[in-house]
C-alpha cells in the first residue's frame, strides 16, 4: 500500500532524505508522490501523479527547503490516481498537512458532518477528512496532540498517519492502527516510515509503533502515547541487523513469503469495503437473468470458489468462465440481460478486458473486482469494488486470491440478505465467521509454518502431484496446484475428487503424492471415499483437514490441520494457505526464485 516517510533533522535539508526514503519505499508500488516541508513557520506542499523522478523533476521537489518534512507514495484506494488525490492533504486553513496509509471506513459520515460545518473538500480521498477534523478540534484550544488524539478516536478502519502543522512547527505527529509505522533515531534527528528500509541508511535504531499508539517526534527523540486515553508508553529502541535488501522484504527471504504472511492484514482490509458500492453491485447481480463470472489465472479460481458461494448463500446461479474462452463460449448469447462480473488483480489482463469489451458491446452490464484503482477495469466497469490487498510483487498471486474470495463472499452474503435467502440467524453466523477468517489465517500460519517446511523437505523429489477437492474445495485444490506449477515447475493435476475415477486415477502408482483438501461439511464423507481409493493404489496422502479430524488423519501420510469451526463455504481462504506455503518451500528447496518464475508475468497484457 502507500509508503510514508517523515523526518526532523539537525543538519541538511529534509527533502533530500525524504526523496531518498521514498525511493526505498518504491517496491511497495505507487501511483503518486507528495512531499511537505515546514520552513519558517510555513507549510510547503508539492505533489503529483507519476514516478518519483518525474514528480521530483516536474514539481521541482528538490528545491523545497526546511529541516522538517514528510513524503508519501500513494497507492490509490479511494479516488483515482491524480494530483488532487495525491497526499499530503491539507485542512481548510492550510496550516495542517497530513499523509495516510490505510482506509478510513467511516469517512463518508465524517465528511458529511464536516460539510455541514462549512468545510470544503478538494479530493475524492477518505484521507482528506482527517486534517479537517483536526482543524475543527483545534478550535477548542487543546493543542495539536490533544486534537489529533480526539480525531484518531473517531476514525474507523486502518491508518498510519503523519501530521505536520504550522501551529507546532518543531514537531511531527504520527500514529498507527493496523497500518505499519516505525520510528528511528540517529545523531542527526528523528524519523518515521512505513518500513525500516526507508530509514536504514540513516539509522538502525528503531521503535515500532503498535496499534492504537501515537508518537510526537522532535529533535530530542519521541514520546509515545496510547490513542485511547493519552497515557504514556515506554518503548525502547531496537537495533536492526538486516541488510537493505532484507529490510525491503521485512526480513522475509522473498516477497511471496512476505505476502503469504501479510494475509491476516490484507484480509482485515478486505472486510472494509465501501458500503455503497457493495450495495450497488449486489443490486446489479440481483437484476440479471444470467450472471457470468470471468477472469484469468488465480482470479479465475476466485470466481470458481465464488460460484459455489453464490449458489449456497444467495441461491444465485453463476457461470464461471476463463476470460480467454469468454467470447467463443458466451459471446453470442451475452446481452442486455446479462451481468458479467469480471475479476482481475491488475485490472489490465488482456483477455479479461476483451471479454468486458465484448459484453459491453452487446449491452451487458459489467461489474468489476480489482486491486488497482485507476486500472482499465475500473474505467470500463459499470460499478466496481476494490479488493484492498495492497500491491503484490510476487508473480504468483497469494494474498490477492484470498482477498478476492473475501470480497466475493461479502457480495454473496449481501445478496442473500437482499433476496431473503438466509435467515437473520444464518446471516449473523456467517458474518461472525467471516470476521474470524483473518484470525484463522493467522493461526494456520503460526501453527503450521514449521510442519509445512518439513513436509516440503520430505516431498522435494516428488515427480508428480495430484490435487483433489470436492465442492468448493475443488477451487482450493486448483489454486494450490497452480501455485505449485507456477513456481516449482513440477508436473501436477488438479481435479474435483469425484471426477478422479474418470481419468486421473490411472496415473496413480506407488508414491504419487495426492493432496486432498478436506474441510468438514457436506463433502466430507465423499472425500474420505476418494482418499481410500487413492491410498489403495499406493498414493502418498497429504491432507489439509480440520483440527482433530482423526478419520482423515488416519488415512493420511501427512496432515496439516486447520482450526475447527470454519464453514465449508468459507474454507478456501484458510485452506489455501498451507498450499501456498508448500509450493513456496518446494521452490526454495529446488533453488528456484519463487518471486520470478520463468516465462510468467505478473500481468498479461497481450493476447
Residue with cell 454473496: 412
Give whole-number Cα distances, 127 to 89, 268, 291, in Å: 7, 19, 35
* Chain centroid to CA 87: 20
Q: Say whether residue 354 binds ligand G6P (CB under 6 A).
A: no
DSSP collapsed to 3 states, 224-241:
EEECCCCCEECCCCEECC
* Closer residue to ligand G6P (CB): 59 or 298: 298
* Closer residue to ligand G6P (CB): 303 or 497: 303
Give whole-number Cα distances, 462 to 450, 459, 481, 484, in Å: 20, 5, 14, 12
* Closer residue to ligand G6P (CB): 297 or 391: 297
The residue within the footprint of ligand G6P, chosen from 4, 144, 395, 541 (CB under 6 A), is 395
Q: Say whether residue 296 binds ligand G6P (CB under 6 A).
A: yes
Span near ligand G6P by CB under 6 A; candidates 17-25, 69-77, 313-321, 391-399 = 391-399
Nearby residues of 237 by Cβ (< 8 Å), 6 or more positions away:
185, 205, 206, 207
Span near ligand G6P by CB under 6 A; candidates 108-116, 143-151, 345-353, 546-554 = 345-353
Task: Give yes or no for a contact between 341 and 294, defined as CB atoms under 8 angstroms apart.
Answer: yes
What is the C-alpha separation between 259 and 399, in angstroms, rounded?
6
* Closer residue to ligand G6P (CB): 129 or 377: 377
Q: Is 80 exposed, middle or buried (0-12, 13-18, 19+ CB in 10 A)?
A: middle
- Kindly state the smallest distance separating residue 453's Cβ from ligand G6P, in Å: 23
The residue within the footprint of ligand G6P, chosen from 344, 500, 580, 583 (CB under 6 A), is 344
Q: Say whether residue 349 binds ligand G6P (CB under 6 A).
A: yes
Pair type for strands 3-9 and 68-74: antiparallel
What is the C-alpha separation between 411 and 418, in angstroms, rounded?
10
- Kindly state the smallest distance separating residue 348's Cβ from ligand G6P, in Å: 7
- Kindly state the smallest distance separating residue 604's Cβ from ligand G6P, in Å: 5
Which of 145, 417, 590, 602 is the catalytic position?
602
Q: Say whether residue 496 binds ligand G6P (CB under 6 A).
A: no
Task: Please confirm, yes or no, whether 2 is among the known catalytic residues.
Answer: yes
Q: Say whether residue 345 binds ligand G6P (CB under 6 A).
A: yes
* Closer residue to ligand G6P (CB): 418 or 603: 603
Q: Say whether residue 365 binds ligand G6P (CB under 6 A).
A: no
Task: Show the site string, 230-269: x = touches ligand G6P by CB under 6 A, - = not.
Answer: ----------------------------------------
Q: What share of the chain is helix, strand, coil (3-state, %, to 5)?
A: 40, 25, 35
The residue within the footprint of ligand G6P, chosen from 263, 274, 299, 571 (CB under 6 A), is 299
Name the residue whose CB lies closest to ligand G6P.
Answer: 297
The residue within the footprint of ligand G6P, chosen from 156, 235, 537, 602 (CB under 6 A), is 602
For residue 6, report the phi and psi dihedrals to the nearest 5 degrees: -140, 150
* Closer residue to ligand G6P (CB): 276 or 605: 605
Q: Say whether residue 346 binds ligand G6P (CB under 6 A).
A: yes
What is the C-alpha separation between 474 and 469, in angstroms, rounded?
4
- Kindly state the smallest distance separating residue 327's Cβ from ligand G6P, in Å: 16
What is the C-alpha separation between 198 and 23, in angstroms, rounded?
8
* Closer residue to ligand G6P (CB): 400 or 500: 400
Q: Is 529 exposed, middle or buried (0-12, 13-18, 19+ CB in 10 A)?
A: exposed
The residue within the footprint of ligand G6P, chosen from 85, 269, 298, 410 (CB under 6 A), is 298
Span near ligand G6P by CB under 6 A; candidates 23-31, 70-78, 295-303, 507-515 = 295-303
Cell of 370: 480489482
* Closer residue to ligand G6P (CB): 227 or 356: 356
∠408-568-288 over CA atoms, to 5°? Answer: 35
Crossing angle of the two packed helices 323-330 and 350-361, in degrees rounded to 10: 30
Residues in contact with ligand G6P by CB under 6 A are 296-299, 344-346, 349, 352, 395-397, 600-604
Q: Active-site residues: which are they?
A: 2, 602
Amino acid at each position: 500500500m502507500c509508503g510514508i516517510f517523515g523526518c526532523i533533522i539537525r543538519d541538511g535539508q529534509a527533502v533530500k532524505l525524504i526523496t531518498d526514503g521514498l525511493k526505498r519505499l518504491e517496491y511497495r508500488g505507487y501511483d503518486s508522490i507528495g512531499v511537505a516541508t515546514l520552513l519558517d513557520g510555513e507549510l510547503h506542499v508539492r505533489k503529483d501523479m507519476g514516478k518519483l523522478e518525474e514528480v521530483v523533476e516536474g514539481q521541482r521537489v528538490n528545491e523545497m527547503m526546511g529541516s522538517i518534512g514528510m513524503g508519501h507514495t500513494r497507492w490509490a484506494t479511494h479516488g483515482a490516481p491524480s494530483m488532487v488525490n495525491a497526499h499530503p492533504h491539507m485542512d481548510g486553513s492550510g496550516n495542517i498537512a497530513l499523509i495516510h496509509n490505510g482506509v478510513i471506513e467511516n469517512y463518508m459520515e465524517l465528511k458529511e458532518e464536516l460539510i455541514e460545518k462549512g468545510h470544503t473538500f478538494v479530493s475524492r480521498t477518505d484521507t482528506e477528512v482527517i486534517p479537517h477534523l483536526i482543524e475543527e478540534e483545534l478550535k477548542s484550544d487543546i493543542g495539536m496532540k490533544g486534537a489529533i488524539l480526539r480525531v484518531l478516536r473517531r476514525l474507523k478502519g486502518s491508518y498510519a498517519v503523519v501530521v505536520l502543522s504550522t501551529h507546532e512547527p518543531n514537531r511531527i505527529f504520527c500514529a498507527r492502527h493496523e497500518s505499519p509505522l516505525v520510528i528511528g533515531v540517529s545523531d542527526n534527528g528523528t524519523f518515521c516510515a512505513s518500513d525500516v528500509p526507508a530509514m536504514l541508511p540513516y539509522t538502525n535504531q528503531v521503535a515500532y509503533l503498535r496499534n492504537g499508539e501515537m508518537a510526537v517526534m522532535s529533535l530530542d527523540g519521541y514520546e509515545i502515547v496510547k490513542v485511547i486515553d493519552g497515557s504514556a508508553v515506554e518503548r525502547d529502541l531496537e537495533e536492526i541487523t538486516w541488510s537493505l535488501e532484507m529490510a525491503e522484504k521485512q526480513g522475509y527471504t522473498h516477497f511471496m513469503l512476505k505476502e503469504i504472511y501479510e494475509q491476516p492484514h490484507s484480509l482485515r482490509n478486505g472486510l472494509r469495503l465501501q458500503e455503497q458500492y457493495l450495495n450497488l453491485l449486489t443490486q446489479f447481480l440481483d437484476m440479471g437473468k444470467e450472471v457470468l463470472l470471468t477472469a484469468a489465472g488465480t482470479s479465475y479460481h476466485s470466481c470458481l470458489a465464488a460460484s459455489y458461494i453464490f449458489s449456497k448463500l444467495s441461491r444465485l446461479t453463476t457461470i464461471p468462465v476463463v476470460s480467454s474462452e469468454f467470447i467463443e463460449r458466451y459471446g453470442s448469447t451475452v446481452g442486455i440481460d446479462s451481468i458479467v462480473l469480471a475479476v482481475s488483480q491488475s485490472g489490465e489482463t488482456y483477455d479479461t478486458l476483451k471479454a468486458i469489451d465484448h459484453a459491453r458491446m452487446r449491452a451487458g452490464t459489467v461489474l468489476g473486482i480489482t486491486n488497482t484503482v485507476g486500472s482499465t477495469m475500473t474505467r470500463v466497469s459499470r460499478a466496481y469494488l476494490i479488493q484492498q490487498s495492497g500491491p503484490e510483487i510476487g508473480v504468483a498471486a497469494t494474498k490477492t486470491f484470498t482477498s478476492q474470495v473475501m470480497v466475493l463472499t461479502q457480495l454473496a452474503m449481501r445478496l442473500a440478505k437482499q433476496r431473503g435467502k438466509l435467515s437473520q440467524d444464518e446471516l449473523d453466523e456467517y458474518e461472525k465467521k467471516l470476521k474470524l477468517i483473518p484470525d484463522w489465517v493467522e493461526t494456520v500460519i503460526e501453527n503450521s509454518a514449521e510442519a509445512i517446511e518439513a513436509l516440503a523437505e520430505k516431498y522435494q523429489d516428488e515427480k508428480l502431484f495430484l490435487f483433489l477437492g470436492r465442492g468448493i474445495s475443488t477451487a482450493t485444490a486448483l489454486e494450490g496446484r497452480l501455485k505449485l506449477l507456477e513456481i516449482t515447475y513440477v508436473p501436477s493435476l488438479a481435479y474435483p475428487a469425484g471426477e478422479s475415477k474418470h481419468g486421473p486415477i490411472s496415473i496413480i502408482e506407488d508414491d504419487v503424492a495426492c493432496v486432498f483438501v478436506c474441510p468438514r461439511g457436506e463433502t466430507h464423507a465423499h472425500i474420505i471415499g476418494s482418499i481410500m481409493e487413492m491410498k489403495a493404489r499406493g498414493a502418498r496422502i497429504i491432507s489439509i483437514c480440520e483440527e482433530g479430524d482423526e478419520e482423515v488423519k488416519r488415512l493420511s501420510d501427512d496432515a496439516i490441520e486447520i482450526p475447527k469451526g470454519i464453514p465449508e463455504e468459507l474454507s478456501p481462504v484458510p485452506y489455501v494457505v498451507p498450499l501456498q506455503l508448500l509450493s513456496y518451500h518446494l521452490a526454495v528447496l529446488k533453488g528456484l526464485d519463487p518471486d520470478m518464475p520463468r516465462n510468467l508475468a505478473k500481468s498479461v497484457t497481450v493476447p
